[in-house]
Each structure stands twice: as C-alpha cells, then as structure tokens.
Chain A
Amino acid sequence: MLEIKNLHANINGKEILKGLDLVVRPGEIHAIMGPNGAGKSTLASVLTGNQAFEVTKGNVTFYGKNLLELSPEDRSREGIFLSFQYPVEIPGVSMVNFMRAALNEHRKYKNLEPISATDFLRTMREKKELVEMDSKLANRSVNEGFSGGEKKRNEIFQMAMLDPRLSILDETDSGLDIDALRIVASGVNKLKRPDNACIVITHYQRLLDYIVPDFVHVLYNGRIVKSGGKELALELEERGYDWIKKEVDGE
C-alpha cells in the first residue's frame, strides 16, 4: 500500500531524512525505532503533509497515488492516520463537532451522504468503549485539559472513528503509565485487520510487548540502516543503539 523511495526531507534548511526506503503491505505492522534525532517523527510529519518539512528528493506512493502531491486533508481521506506524539488542544471546539466534521468530510470524499445523528452517536459510543474513554471527555473541547493518557486514548479513539487504511503511531507510548499503555495497545490490536496496516514509531521496546510487529526497522541519521523481525527490537532493548551507530558510522 505504501512505498517510500529514497526520501529526503529538510526542516529549516537542515536535512533530516537522507534517502529513506520503506514498503508497507496490507496486514503488516512495522515498528520504526531509533535513537533521538534519527528522523522518526520527521517521517511521520512528512507522510501526513506537515508544511514545516520540505521534501527535496524521492517519492512516496500510497495505493499507487503520489502521496506528496496530496493536501494533508486528502491524505487523511485516502486513509492515512497519524496518532500525534503531542496531540493538540483546541479550546472551544468540542470533540463531537470535531469528529462529526472529520467523519463527514471523509464521507463526502467517498461521495457518501453525511452521517445521520443516530448513527454518529452510536459509532461514537462504540468506539469510546474500545479505548475505555470516559464519556464526559467527548463533550469537552478537543484535548483541552486532558491528561497525557487521555490524550493518547483520544488519538486511538479518533483512529477508530476514521477507520484508516494506514495508521502511524508516533511515540504513542511516551508519557503513558502501564495501564494506559495496555488500553491504547489493546485498542490498536482490536482495530487490526488483514486490509489495514500500522507503522509504530517508538523509542523503546515497551510498546512492542503489546503491539507485536512483523518488521522492525532501525532509523539512524535519516535512513533505515537495519531491518529485521520482532527479535531485533529485543536486541535493541538489550544492547542499545551504539552498536548500530558504530556499524553504520564505520561503513
């Protein structure tokens, strides 16, 4: 579904991604790990169309479409979802209005009628249960005053509502206690289907105890320098990143 070839990207003139390649097929879970500053979050930002980053070389296709030509909203409507590392608070915009607007824009893109009020409320209720989200949170402004764990749960809730083909979880485990981590991971696992895929960006192995990846990639200095199965994550947990850095820098 997703093909990234030789991707280079800058922020403020500084090159962060330096020739990144990745292929994701339906049904797969990919973990992207790597030391701080390797470019993990940049990859998530570039894939979702954050204007702060400039793609200088390479291409990205999503089901054959040139992803880099699409606006952020069209990428979402095509089925790409980013669970933000730092979900944004939007005072004054209620979760309900926010979700309804998003859902209806997705439906419009597919030439569907706006969702009926009853269907919408039923879907909201079902998906809230999936992430064990407090009903009251849905009546508040988007993320406003939410705890760290609530924000991350809210991301997975939105993911459930929008039913993406490709989800990118950017450091979803950061700042979560073990219970929140379990709930978030179980939400992700319940949404897993043979026709969708997931990229899990994480610094630590911890989340991968709950969301078991098919592939683990190590991102270092703007490129994927090593790929393997889930056992690679365990090795990284044990040995850290230095040996990889040495391997790469010694090239």
Chain B
Amino acid sequence: MEQQYIDLYNQHRESIKKHSAAVMNNMRDASFEMFEELRFPTAALENYKYSDLKEPLSVDYGLNINRITIPVNPYEVFKCDVPGIASYLYFVVNDAFYPINEPRNNTLPEGVIIGSLKDVANTHPELLKNYYGKLSTSKKDGLVAFNGAFAQDGFFMYVPKNVKLDKPVQLVNIMRSDVDFMANSHNLIILEEGAKAQLLVCDHTMDDVRFLSNRVTEVFVGQNATYEHYKLENTHNKTTNLATLLIDQQTSSNVLTNVITLHNGVTRNTIEIDLDGEHCETLLCGMVIADKNQQVDNFSSIIHNKPNGNSRELFKYVLDDTAKGGFTGKLYVAKNAQKTSAFQTNRNILLKKTAKMRTKPQLEIYADDVKCSHGATIGQLDETAKFYMQSRGISESEAKLLLMSAFTNDVIENIRIPALQDRIKMLVEKRLRGELSKCEGCVICQ
C-alpha cells in the first residue's frame, strides 16, 4: 500500500514543493527517503503493537497536492462546541491553513505571529529554520517521515520573549471532502523565554467519507515559558486520526498536555516530551471514552535529560462494546538526570467483557537518585459502590454515570481553561449517558 504514495511522490515531487515553502522543502526528500525505508508502521513494531492501522491505511484516499481551495467557510460550518470560551480562533481545512481571519484575531499581543506555516516560512524563514523539523526529522517513525514528505502547510504560532497570551488560541482542524481523503499537516509552535500560551486543538469532520489525518506538531517551550496543549477529538467513526506531538522543554519551563478522545474511529496519538533543561515541569493527561468498534492508542514518551525534572502522567479509559484501547507510558531518565521525580498512572474501566485494553509502562532509569512510580489497572465499575448508591435511591444508570464521571474527573480537573473544563465535563456526561455517541449535529455515525 505504500507503493502508490511512493509513486505519487516521485511523479509529483515538484508540485508538492511548488505549493509549499523552501524551509519545508529542504527536508522533504530526506523524509521521503526515510519513509521509503521505514514504510507505514505495523503492529509488529514495539511502539505500534497496540495500533492496528492496516485497514485504515489501505483505503484509497485522495490528497490535495496542488492545493485546490476547498469550498468551505469554516466560520459558517463550525459552531464552536465550547460556548463562553473567548479565544483566538483559527482553522486548518483538511491540511491547509484557512487564510481569512476573524477581526478578533487582529488584537494579538505585539510580536505574536499566528498563521499559515507555509506563509510564515516564506515571510519569516529565519524564524522557522532553527525549529522546523528539529524534533521530527530525527524520529525513526514511518508516519512522521510520511508527513515530512507530504505536508505542505499547517498551523504556526510564535510567542516572543516574555509575552503572555491573554486568551487561549483555538485551532480547529476541519475535514471536508466529497471523496475519501488524507490530510498531512505540520504544526509548529514556538514559545520564547518566559512566554505563555494555551492552545486548544479540536478535530472536526464534516462529510460522510473516510478521512485519515496524519499530523505532526512540534512545540518548543523556552526557558521559564508556560504552555498548555489541549486536544479534543470529537470526530465521526469513519475517521482515522494519527497525531504526533513532539515537545521540547527548556530550563524551568512548565507544560500541561491534555489529550481527550470523546469520539472517533481509529486514533493513534504519539506524544514525546523531552525535558532538555533543569527544573522542568510536565503534566501529561489523557482520557478516552470509546464504544462500538473504536480503537484508541496513546503512546507516550517522557524523556528526562536534565536533573531536577518533575513529570506526572495520568491516563484514563472507559471502554464499552468491542472498543480497543492501548496505552504505553515510556519514561526515560538519563544518567545525569538526578533528582528526577516521575509518576505515571493509567486506569481503565471495561464496561463489557468484549472491550479490550492493553497497557504497558516502560521505564528506563539510568540515574540513581530519582523518585519514579507507575501503576496500571484494568477493571470494572465498582459493584459495591453502585449498590451503595442504589440503596440510597439512585437509579442504576445514574449510579453508573456518577461512577464513570468520578473516574474521569481527575483528568478533567487538569483543564485550566474554566469554560473548556465545564464544557468537557458536560460533553463527557452526555457521552457516558449515550446521548452523544456522535458529535453534535452530525448525522454520519450510526
């Protein structure tokens, strides 16, 4: 199945480059060669053993190499699911940054640049050249290499030294196509020393076709900078979302990552966080609610390269029907990363016997003065707690709901945007009640 993409690249190499930017093209051929060598990942690879991507990758997707404008006005079709959130709002339609700005976005603090990666690569090549591909090109990963070969655009955000964004930035990925479609976008986020930003990424699908998105996001968090990355997946079940998030943290930086899958078909998140300075703090959270035959695999890797780092990781899954979940928590503590403290937790509830969860902590610790712990559990709802609630008059379904909400609550508490937290709490409840087995207003999922 790789061959058609290899042929496509060989035939259209020049068009791909023509519709992108020099900084991105510089690494394109090398990425392509790496893809030729690595191919798409299969479950035979250790890092992909919980992801079965064969079927979704074998679909004959269309690509938009010549960057034909997709006839859609995202401001009209996308009604924000988070009412009350005041944000700077941007769209990526399939894999192209949507160029028309809302007036409210023009009030960005001075020096902040948000826009199309391709355009910024042309207007400010100096900004990109020290960052673009710095984290991604070294990854021996077929999906990342494929992205490097085919991604022509994406979302770009630059927050200069000591500038703090007053509102969250919201990036909505909209998938719109009349035929089965594949999107490859590359996002680049740069926070300089002491900067502060929150980014909320929402995935949204519009049409009843098969979609596959293969997105790579590189994030550079400078010294003393603070960054929050939220990802909310609420896409239809014919969607495959493959997302690689690579974060580099410098001294005393603080990062919160919270990845929430409320609804989708096949999800693979690869999240790698490098703590490259001393006294880094990172909190990585995630939550999955999946039913029917949905499949969600979160592969995480936290790398402590310097001393006095602090990382916490918390992932929770609620799986129903024949849903499949996977979690890998890789933790690496380098030899000189003394006084590291790292805690990892993964807890899972299977609502039916047919649901499956596979989880794997993977700790590699080479320093000798560290505090590390990990824990993983797979179980059912607590029957005694359920009976206790029923014996107080609470119905069985309400009791289950309270228990499931309680179970996911500590992930939701790690959302530091109040309007978003309220909204997600509500969405999770609706989802658990079975009222939202599809996205709001969507007629595609059965």
* Given A92-B410, A93-B402; A73-B390 close (CB under 8 Å): yes
Contacts of B402 in A (CB 8 A): 90, 93, 97-98, 101
Q: Is the CB of B390 within 8 A of A88?
A: no
Q: Is the interface of B mostly helix, strand, loop or mixed?
A: helix
Q: Is A139 an interface residue (CB 8 A)?
A: no
* Given A93-B406, A97-B402; A88-B393 close (CB under 8 Å): no
Indicate which residue in A50, A87, A105 contacts B394 across the interface (CB closer than 8 Å).
A105
Closest chain-B Cβ to A145's Cβ sits at a distance in Å of 15
Give Cα A114 to B135, complex, Å: 55
Q: Is the CB of A73 within 8 A of B406?
A: no
**Stretch of B178-186, B380-388, B431-439 on the interface side:** B380-388
Count of B interface residues, CB-CB < 8 Å? 21
Q: Is the CB of B396 within 8 A of A102?
A: no
Give Cα A63 to B235, complex, Å: 52
Q: Is the CB of A91 within 8 A of B406?
A: yes
**Stretch of A76-84, A176-184, A198-206, A210-218 on the interface side:** A76-84
Q: Is B389 an interface residue (CB 8 A)?
A: yes
Taking CB atoms and an 8 Å cut-off, the chain A residues in 70-128 that contact chain B are 71-73, 75-77, 81-82, 84, 87-93, 97-98, 101-102, 105-106, 109
Closest chain-B Cβ to A171's Cβ sits at a distance in Å of 16
Give Cα A71 to B391, complex, Å: 9
Q: Is A48 an interface residue (CB 8 A)?
A: yes
Indicate which residue in A72, A75, A88, A158 contacts B384 across the interface (CB closer than 8 Å).
A88
Interface residues on A, range: 20 to 34
Q: Is B407 an interface residue (CB 8 A)?
A: yes
* Given A97-B402, A101-B402, A105-B398; A90-B391 close (CB under 8 Å): no
Q: Is the CB of B406 within 8 A of A76?
A: no
Q: Is A162 an interface residue (CB 8 A)?
A: yes
Q: CB-defined interface of B393-405 with A at 8 Å, one 1/0 digit per residue?
A: 1111010001101
Give Cα A188 to B31, complex, Å: 75
Q: Is B10 an interface residue (CB 8 A)?
A: no
Contacts of A71 in B (CB 8 A): 390, 396
Q: Is B354 an interface residue (CB 8 A)?
A: no
Q: Is the CB of A93 within 8 A of B393?
A: no
Task: Show the binding face of B for A, using Cβ within 8 Å.
Answer: 382, 384-385, 387-396, 398, 402-403, 405-407, 409-410
Q: Is the CB of B388 within 8 A of A90?
A: yes
Q: Which residue of A lies closest to B401 (CB)?
A: A101
Q: Is the CB of B406 within 8 A of A105?
A: no
Q: Is the CB of B385 within 8 A of A73?
A: no
Give Cα A90 to B382, complex, Å: 9
Q: Is the CB of B403 within 8 A of A93?
A: yes
Q: Is the CB of A106 within 8 A of B393?
A: yes
Give Cα A28 to B394, complex, Å: 27
Contacts of B409 in A (CB 8 A): 92
Q: Is the CB of A162 within 8 A of B391?
A: no
* Given A90-B406, A105-B398; A98-B391 close (CB under 8 Å): no
Closest chain-A Cβ to B315's Cβ sits at a distance in Å of 16
Q: Is the CB of A76 within 8 A of B407?
A: no
Q: Is A187 an interface residue (CB 8 A)?
A: no
Contacts of A87 in B (CB 8 A): 388
Closest chain-B Cβ to A64's Cβ sits at a distance in Å of 20
Q: Is A149 an interface residue (CB 8 A)?
A: no
Indicate which residue in B382, B384, B392 contacts A98 across the interface (CB closer than 8 Å).
B392
Q: Is A49 an interface residue (CB 8 A)?
A: yes
* Given A98-B402, A101-B402, A105-B398; A92-B391 close (CB under 8 Å): no
Q: Is the CB of B388 within 8 A of A105?
A: no
* Given A50-B387, A72-B387, A98-B389; A90-B394 close (CB under 8 Å): no
Closest chain-B Cβ to A209's Cβ sits at a distance in Å of 28
Closest chain-B Cβ to A99's Cβ sits at a distance in Å of 8
Contacts of A105 in B (CB 8 A): 393-395, 398
Give Cα A97 to B425, complex, Å: 14
* 28 A-B pairs with C-beta separation under 8 A: A50-B387, A73-B390, A73-B393, A73-B394, A73-B396, A76-B391, A76-B392, A76-B393, A77-B393, A81-B391, A84-B391, A88-B385, A88-B387, A88-B388, A89-B385, A90-B382, A90-B388, A90-B402, A93-B406, A98-B389, A98-B392, A98-B394, A102-B389, A102-B393, A105-B394, A109-B393, A141-B406, A142-B388
Give Cα A136 to B391, complex, Å: 24
